[in-house]
Amino acid sequence: MEISKLDVATRQLESAIALHFSGGDYLAVVTLAGAAEEILGKLLQRTGKRAMIDHLIDLDRELTGGRPFEIIRQEINGVRNSLKHANDPNEDKIVVEPGEAIAMLGRAVVNYVSLTESATPAMVRVYRQLMKLHPDVAR
Which candidate, 106, 125, 96, 86, places its Cα nearest to that of 40?
A: 106
Give the Cα separation of 29 and 101 in Å (integer).
6
Which candidate, 18, 44, 23, 4, places its Cα nearest to that of 120?
A: 18
Question: What's the one-letter identity of residue 106?
Answer: G
Which one is predicted more confidently, 62 or 11? 11
Q: Find the DSSP H helices in 22-94.
A: 26-46, 52-64, 69-84
pTM (2 d.p.): 0.88
pLDDT at position 66, please? 84
Which candidate, 96, 61, 68, places its Cα nearest to that of 82?
A: 96
pLDDT bracket for residue 139 (50, 70, 90): low
Query: Would you list the domain boundaries of the chain?
Result: 5-133
pLDDT at position 10, please? 99
63-101: per-residue pLDDT in tens?
Answer: 988 888 888 888 888 888 888 888 888 888 888 888 999
Which candidate, 13, 67, 57, 18, places its Cα nearest to that of 35?
A: 13
Average pLDDT of the residues in 119-124: 98
DSSP state letter for 50: P
10-50: per-residue pLDDT in tens?
Answer: 999 999 999 999 999 999 999 999 999 999 999 999 999 99
